[in-house]
Amino acid sequence: MDALLTLWESTGVANLGWQQALMVVIGCGLIYLAIAKKFEPLLLVPIGFGAVLSNIPVAGIGGPDGLFGMIYSVGVQTGIFPLLIFMGVGALTDFGALIARPSTLLLGAAAQFGIFATLIGAVALNALPGFNFTLQDASAIAIIGGADGPTAIFLASRLAPDLLGAIAVAAYSYMALVPIIQPPIMRLFTTKKERAVVMEQLRPVSRLERIFFPFVVMILCGLLLPSAAPLIGMLMFGNLLRESGVVERLSRAAQNEIINVVTIMLGLAVGSRLSAEKFLAIETLGILVLGALAFSIGTAAGVLMGKIMYRATGGKVNPLIGAAGVSAVPMAARVVNRVGLESNPHNFLLMHAMGPNVAGVLGSAVAAGVLLALTGG
Amino acid sequence: MLDTTLVKESLSLMAIGMGTVFSFLLLLVLLLRIMSWLAHRLSPLEAQTLPATPMAPMTEQAADAELIAVITAAVTRYRSRWRP
């Protein structure tokens, strides 16, 4: 009889609390969004399944001695996984549009306003009962506005490890929602005439410029903002692999095998942070709201900067491309292209939007570096 | 509980942050322009030499003739083997 009782106590049914059950349902919800709605499936499938597995009672897969717990402490807590992903992103990214028209960097800078406005929002949320965000927490939440998953995870792992699960889920969910969130804001701030502006073709970029580019960015980052050097350094290293043209194999490994393996590990490790006691808190709700705010403000700031450039250049710059300043490569650039086509069916803005788009990646990495340097303690 | 020192701190963080992001990327704009200028000084011809494809029509015709010969030989051999 005792043996039976012991067996019963070791089953999942006996130990399942409603919180864990709810987290399993949330994990399945993420997987549903990934499969049925194609929301960032590369990340939401591993994150969702990681959440399901980590909330199996007794097994302790997400605990410090469990599989995911160990992956988390090796790869995410140390910041290694997001940095490896950044290397892959660098190897996948063509910075040609940015080199051809460097002024688009300003659009990428303006869109980072979403990050810092959200920082204020997160601190102001402390006025409500149940919220108690420190400046570190607020910084980590704000970086969702950078629309850059790896950057958000990197910063959260440094500044607010407790909120990492919610921040990662919010960042990737909103990246998937870019095509829904951005267009209304873009239309609101631009006139039909501005949206129909046809931009002149980009000049060709020589191989030498492409090879110099990572060094220029790296030197500037090293001199001015060493706290952003891990992120920007890996991004530029990946890009050098791509553009040097002599290490085709390494470049392909960074673009495919390494980034794929790391994405699986990162997703599962992040999923293991979706435990009931950390995720089922009022803070999560606040993070989701603030994330949407960060995205919207970033888009608006980018478009407004685009309008300034439109005026300054005498109507040569289409203000829509400013919306691509919120990184989310290449989704945001595609959205810009689509909205541009609505106003002028012969106007293809995709290449022009890629400039601010990759500038946004650099911009959010710089913003992350600033936040890390000032609140990292 | 709204902590006013925290709000002040975050406001100054916003000012410093946006300032840094803008000045960093502005400097980068400048450096990229210098870099492009330098790259064009160093190898001004590179852009023009790339699109030129060194494929003369003469060699192309010769290659075609050779290709036809090879294919004919292959077809003949295939037929001889499969139609006894």
B8 touches chain A (CB under 8 A): no
Q: What tokens does A4 get?
A: 């039976």
pLDDT tops 60 at residue A370: yes
Cis peptide before A330 (omega within 30 of 0): yes
Over residues A114-172, the pLDDT tens digits come to: 999 999 999 999 998 888 899 999 999 999 988 888 999 999 999 999 999 999 999 98
What's the Cα-to-Cα distance from A329 to each of A31, A148, A233, A363, B7, rounded to whole Å?
Answer: 22, 8, 18, 13, 32
pLDDT tops 80 at residue A364: yes
pLDDT tops 50 at residue B32: yes
Q: Which residue of B has its CA nearest to A222?
A: B24
- Across the range A303-310, mean pLDDT stands at 95
- Interface test with chain A among B5, B32, B35, by most A beta carbons within 10 Å: B32
* Separation in Å, CA of B57 to nearest CA in chain A: 28
Q: Do residues A132 and A284 touch, judged by C-beta distance below 8 A?
A: no
DSSP result, A167-203: HHHHHHHHHHTHHHHHHHHHHHHS-HHHHTPPPPPPP
Over residues A74-109, the pLDDT tens digits come to: 999 999 999 999 999 999 999 999 999 999 999 999
pLDDT tops 50 at residue A254: yes
Domain locations in chain B?
Answer: 1-52, 55-84
Model pLDDT, residue B51: 47
Model pLDDT, residue B56: 47
- Across the range A207-213, mean pLDDT stands at 95
Instruction: Given the cut 0.95, state whether the ipTM is greater than it.
Output: no
Q: Do residues A166 and A190 touch, judged by C-beta distance below 8 A?
A: no
d(CA A4, CA A27): 32
d(CA A248, CA A270): 31
Domain locations in chain A?
Answer: 15-375
Neighbours of A204 (CB within 10 A): 13
Model pLDDT, residue B79: 75
More confident residue, A99 or A175: A99
- Interface test with chain B among A105, A128, A148, A309, by most B beta carbons within 10 Å: A105
Model pLDDT, residue A227: 93
Q: Report which of B18, B45, B27, B32 is spatially closest to residue A97, judged by C-alpha positions.
A: B32
Q: Which residue of B has its CA nearest to A370?
A: B17
